[in-house]
Amino acid sequence: MTTASQTEKTSFLKKLFNRPEKEYADPYLGGILLGLVLFASLFITGSGLGASGGYSRYVAFIEDLVAPGHIDQVPYLIHIAGGELNPLDNWIVMVTTGVLLGGFVSGLLHGRAKVELVKGPNISNTTRLVMAFIGGIIFTFGARMARGCTSGQALSGGAVLSAGSWAIAFAIFGSAYALAYFVRKLWL
């Protein structure tokens, strides 16, 4: 992130980005804070948290730029971006934008915002990147099928006791546990 030529700015950025890396919070404490955020969201707005809905709208926005007429032929996207609708004019886009900002600020403050590739010890960088990309495709495909991901369904739907959300939460963890052994080389 830093370039050597810009001296003044660099030293500031260096200070900003080279903070000593701090440890993550205790998981129970993190969970309580996350629960308070979720409660605040439901209490004030009636909506829970979400992430994959933001993905849909970013994609619809890009499609609208690249192939404007095409959206009107995709039944699944018409209701979010058909005709004159602006797919980004929606609360969930605000939430996901906030997630990016909040994650960035926290990473910065705790010295954890730095360019790196996180992977298991026994795979190459390329394998990790390819698997992350494929995992991303599969995950959001499943999230669209289930009408929500770990945030919108498992977390938010779970907290308000939706039966379907609990079924989805168990399906996610069940399938990940069942497959974990066979792909252990990726992580162990």
Partner 1 sequence: MTPFPLDLATQFGKPVMYLVFLLIGFAFGYTLEISGFNKSTLLAGQFYFRDSRVIKVMFTAIITAMVLIFLATGLGLLDYNLIWVPPTYLWPGIVGGLIMGVGFILGGFCPGTSLVSAATFKLDGIAFVAGGLFGVFLFSETEKFYDAFFNGSYYGRLTLMDVFHISTGQAVLLVLVMALGLFWVAEKLEQRYGGKAPSTGSKPRYAAWFGTLALGLVVLTIGQPTNIDKWNRIAAEKEALLKERAVQISPAELLTSIADDQLRVIMLDVRSERDYNLFHIHGARRVDGDNMLAIAEELLIDPKIGETVIVLMSNDEAAATEAWKILVAEEVPNVYILEGGINEWLSIFAVDDPNITPKDGPVGDDELRYNFSIALGDNCEAADPFIHEWELEFEPKIKLEKKRGPTAGGCG
Q: How far is the CB of 35 from partner 1 (least distance, A)?
A: 3
State the minimum distance, in angstroms, from the CB of residue 125 to partner 1.
Answer: 8
Residue 5 C-beta: closest distance to partner 1, Å: 21
What burial class does residue 65 get, using C-beta atoms within 10 Å of its C-beta: 0-12 exposed, 13-18 middle, 19+ buried? exposed
Q: How many CA atoms lie within 13 A of 124 on its CB side?
A: 3
Cβ distance to partner 1 smaller for residue 10 or 139: 139
Residue (20 or 43) nearer to partner 1, CB: 43
- Residue in this structure with the two tokens 């004019």, named with its chain if needed: 89
DSSP per-residue string spanning 50-99: -SHHHHHHHHHHHHHHH-TTGGGG-HHHHHHHSTT--TTSSHHHHHHHHH
Please tell me the total number of residues recorded for the chain in this structure: 188
Is 186 exposed, middle or buried (CB count within 10 Å of its CB: 0-12, 13-18, 19+)?
middle
Minimum distance from residue 88 beta carbon to partner 1 (Å): 11
In whole angstroms, the minimum distance from the beta carbon of 9 to partner 1 comes to 18
Quick one: 10 or 159, whose CB is closer to partner 1?
A: 159
Q: Which is nearer to partner 1, 10 or 119 (CB)?
A: 119
Nearer to partner 1, 30 or 68 (CB): 30
DSSP character for 188?
-
Q: Report the alpha-carbon distance of residue 102 to residue 108 in Å, rounded.
A: 10
